[in-house]
Amino acid sequence: MKFTRAAGILLHPTSLPGPNGIGDLGTEAHHFLDFLANAGMKIWQVLPLGPTGYGDSPYQCFSAFAGNPLLIHVPGGGDHFPTDTVDFEHVIPHKRALLHGALDRFVPNDRYRAWVEQEKEWLEDYALFMALKEAHGGVSWTDWDSGAAQRDPVALASWRGRLGDDIERIRREQYFFFTQFHALKKGAADRGIQIMGDLPIYVAHDSADVWANRSLFKLKEDGSLIVQAGVPPDYFSATGQLWGNPIYDWEAVEAQGYAWWIRRMRAAFHMFDLVRIDHFRGFEAYWEVPGDATTAIDGVWAPGPGAKLFDAIAAALGPLPIVAENLGMITPAVEALREQLGFPGMSILQFAFGGDGQAKEFQPHTFPRERVVYTGTHDNDTTMGWWNSTGEGDSTRSTDEVSREKAFARTYLGTDGKEMNWVLIRAALASVANTVLVPMQDVLGLGGEARMNLPGRQGGNWRFRFSWEQVTPAIASRLRELVDLYDR
């Protein structure tokens, strides 16, 4: 599917300003839409919006269908939280208390009841899963009472009776989330802005999806992992990345006509205008690591479902406005699959100047029009953090390699290295690639302290927030001038 020539900003809603210590879907999100419109931006890309679990990562959610209650806007609250970071440890109990008060005051109406009925296919499993998780002290479902863990019908009926109030509260949370999200989506559409979502290939082991659909995953009888997902050693980590996600039993998924994936993609396109699929290469072949491994080094490549999955989804849903995240160890077979499906791939300008032999494909003079270009992604350092790095302590590059990279970047870009964030933004916008997305941190020229995620780091990620004091009128004007200049 061809994308029109446009530019946008990558910003997760948790990073928005506002009270209560975390960004949400309320007033400040609509204010951000105004900023995007004034700056000539036509896309707002967000990270996955599901309810976060381990490590507060939006890529490890309790559901592939539900929304994150922390993103629900609740009036009132407090301003005693830091403005430049999300202190999850203190924000979560504070926000939950505010939300519970609002839910207690909510009077169910016909619109709410109709929504619950419409979404019951995923909502009932999710609400029961979360209520059971709370009743078991928050532990993983594999450590629950055996009747609940194994979904014994008699046991589940008993638990539903005991947890009725909690289940209803969780339904109401989801209604609040989706009501606010679709109001935001309408606000975006009214301003000519598309929202791009992010869909991880895998779901969390501790999720309603796995608990309710065990036959679709490679699990032992007790629900523990036979194998787990990850990637081999790469740019980000010398030992690879061990994700801990269960791997699909693709034969079982196919035997059901890919029904679960079709439901997942239908839900995604109901929310988003465009969808980026994270780790697209796993559909051609994926890195399979033993379930009890402690690093991702000792894995093997196993075949993915290939085009059959997407053919089934397209047959059910029509044309698929999908961006394929094709970074990392990408083979000709992965690129052939992506091109067969007609999904644009990604290029990262921060990767364009190294000496590893793959840099050229990230250089603007090699871009095709059907490409989505980033200065950096949520997994990269900010552009200023990258540019100011010496390479000290880097497990994948030496200081000499970093020096050569910077020298080549100066020559290629014709710059003395000042305002490197704007140099990369201009290079991206000037390219022939139809789509350009820039992290908000790069628009603001922030350093490595504003990095969203460091792959492999167990804590301290996903915390960045900006403030409106950082967003000067000159920034919006500068972006607008560039998008007008380069016909975006």
340 located within any domain: yes
Domain containing residue 212: CATH number:
3.20.20.80
Among candidates 299, 158, 333, which has minimal Cα distance to 228? Answer: 299
267 located within any domain: yes
1 located within any domain: no
Choosing from 325, 381, 405, 442, which is the catalytic residue?
Answer: 325
Instruction: Residue 339: give the domain boundaries.
Output: 6-485
Segment 89-98 mean pLDDT: 95
Choosing from 278, 284, 381, 442, which is the catalytic residue?
Answer: 278
For residue 217, pLDDT over 80 is answered with yes
Residue 82 main-chain phi, psi, to 5 deg: -60, 150
416 among known catalytic residues: no
Structural domain count of the chain: 1
Is there a contact between 49 and 67 (Cβ–Cβ < 8 Å)? yes
For residue 238, pLDDT over 70 is answered with yes
For residue 176, pLDDT over 60 is answered with yes
Choosing from 379, 381, 405, 442, which is the catalytic residue?
Answer: 379
Query: What is the per-residue pLDDT for 396?
Result: 64
259 located within any domain: yes
190 among known catalytic residues: no
Is there a contact between 195 and 269 (Cβ–Cβ < 8 Å)? no
Segment 66-78 mean pLDDT: 92
Please return the burial class of 168, using the count of CB atoms within 10 Å of its CB with bins 0-12, 13-18 and 19+: middle
Please return the burial class of 102, using the count of CB atoms within 10 Å of its CB with bins 0-12, 13-18 and 19+: middle
137 located within any domain: yes
Least confident of 222-226, 394-398, 483-487: 394-398
Q: How confident is the model at residue 427 (pLDDT cuts 50, 70, 90)?
A: very high
DSSP state at residue 163: T
481 located within any domain: yes
145 among known catalytic residues: no
pLDDT in tens, 26-55: 999 999 999 999 999 999 999 999 999 888
Segment 469-474 mean pLDDT: 95
Query: What is the per-residue pLDDT for 236?
Result: 64
439 located within any domain: yes
pLDDT in tens, 185-198: 999 999 999 999 99
Query: What is the per-residue pLDDT for 393?
Result: 65
Amino acid identity of residue 447, one-letter, is G
> What percent of the chain shows pLDDT beyond 90?
89
Segment 118-125 mean pLDDT: 98
Size of the chain, expressed as the number of residues it contains: 488
448 located within any domain: yes
Query: What is the per-residue pLDDT for 91?
Result: 95
